[in-house]
Amino acid sequence: MTKFSRPAPLDRRSFLTAGSVFAAGFMLPIASAAPPPQQRIPLLGFSLYGMKTLPLNKALTQCASIGYQCVELPVLAGWPADTATFTAATKKDFRANAEKNKLRLSAIMDNLPLLGDEAKHRANLGRLKAAALLAHELAPSDPPLVETVLGGKPAQWDEVKQQFVDRLGEWAQVMADAKVKLAVKAHISNAMQRPEQLAWVIDQVKNPWLTAAYDYSHFELQKLTMAETIQPLASKMTFVHVKDAEGEPGKFKFLLPGEGKTDYKELFSQLSQAGYTGDIVVEVSGQVFSQAGYDPIAAAKKCFAALPPIGTKQASR
C-alpha cells in the first residue's frame, strides 16, 4: 500500500488529472441519486477556524506560503464568512484568491446543534442549504463538503439517538438535493462521541450524501486506538481533522499537532491502508485560539512543521 507523502503544489486542473496514482475514494457530487467515484489526491490543509482574526485573503496567502494546499472555511454565525452576511463581492474575492494561491477548498464548517425545538431544526436546514449553495459558488468544479458537529451531551445518547437518525435523514436529503456532501463528526463532549455511534447513525440514515468526519483527538481522549476507530468508519469518512489532546473525558484540553503524543506518521499510514483519499486538515481548537497571545500564523507554521507529508510526492519545506 502506498504511504502518504506530501505532493508538490498543484493547480485545480493538475490534481484532477493526477488521480490515477490513487485509489478512487472521494465522491464528487453530480446530478445523480448518489455521487459516483472520482479519483482525487489527498492534500494537507489548515482550517481557517484557527484564523478568525485575519482577513480571509491574508489567511489564504499565509496558508499557501507556509505550504498548505487546501483550507476549510468556517461559516459560523459572526465569522467573516458567515453565510448570513457573506456578500457576493467577498465571495468572488475569496474564490479568486483561493485560485491564485492554488488552494483547494476542502470543506465548509458550520456548527449546527442537532437537538432543539422544531424552529431550531428548520433554521439548521436553512443554514445547510446556504452552506451547500456557497460550496457551489466558491468552487463550482469541485464543491467542498459541509462539516459539522452535532451537540448534545454524552449521557443523552440512548435518549436522543433516534432523533439523530430522523433529523439527519432530513439534513441528508437537503444535501442530496444540493449535491454536496455532509460530513458529521463525533465529539468528546457531544451525545455522539464514539466511532461506532457515528457509524450506526450513518448506516441507519442510508443516504450516500451523509458521511463521516474523522478526528482522532476525540477518540484518543477515550483511550481508543487508531485501528479500532478507523475500522468502523473507513468506508464512510470523507474528511479528516487533526490536532493533539491530553486528559480524559470531562477533563481535557486540545493542543496543536506536535504538542501531544499523537503519532501522525502512524495515523496517516493507517488512513492510507484503510483506503482514505480525502484531505487532512489541521483544526486549531477554540481552547487554543481563545488564549491570550495566540498568533494564528505562528500556530499554522508550527502545525505544518510537526506533521509528516501526505500525498504522492515529497514536497520540499
Within-domain flag for 26: yes
Please report, in angstroms and rounded to a whole number, the separation of the first and last CA atoms in the chain: 25
Within-domain flag for 6: no
Count of residues in the chain:
317
| Domain range enclosing 183 | 12-306
Q: In Å, what is the CA distance from 122 to each residue of 113, 168, 201, 277?
A: 12, 12, 20, 33
Per DSSP, the three-state class of 276 is: coil
Within-domain flag for 316: no
| Digit-coded pLDDT (tens) for 269-306 | 999 999 999 999 999 999 999 999 999 999 999 999 99
Query: What CATH number does the domain containing 227 carry?
Result: 3.20.20.150
**How many domains are contained in the chain?**
1
Q: Are strands 237-242 and 244-248 parallel, antiparallel or unpaired?
A: unpaired
Separation of alpha carbons 168 and 207, rounded Å: 10
Separation of alpha carbons 24 and 39, rounded Å: 5
All residue ranges of the chain with pLDDT < 70 are: 1-39, 311-317
Within-domain flag for 315: no
pTM assigned to the model: 0.86
The closest of 92, 162, 173, 93 to 128, measured between CA atoms, is: 173
Within-domain flag for 163: yes
| Digit-coded pLDDT (tens) for 216-240 | 999 999 999 999 999 999 999 999 9
Q: Where does the chain have alpha helices with state H?
A: 12-17, 56-66, 88-100, 118-138, 157-178, 195-205, 216-220, 226-230, 264-273, 286-289, 296-306
Contact 182, 167 (CB under 8 A): no
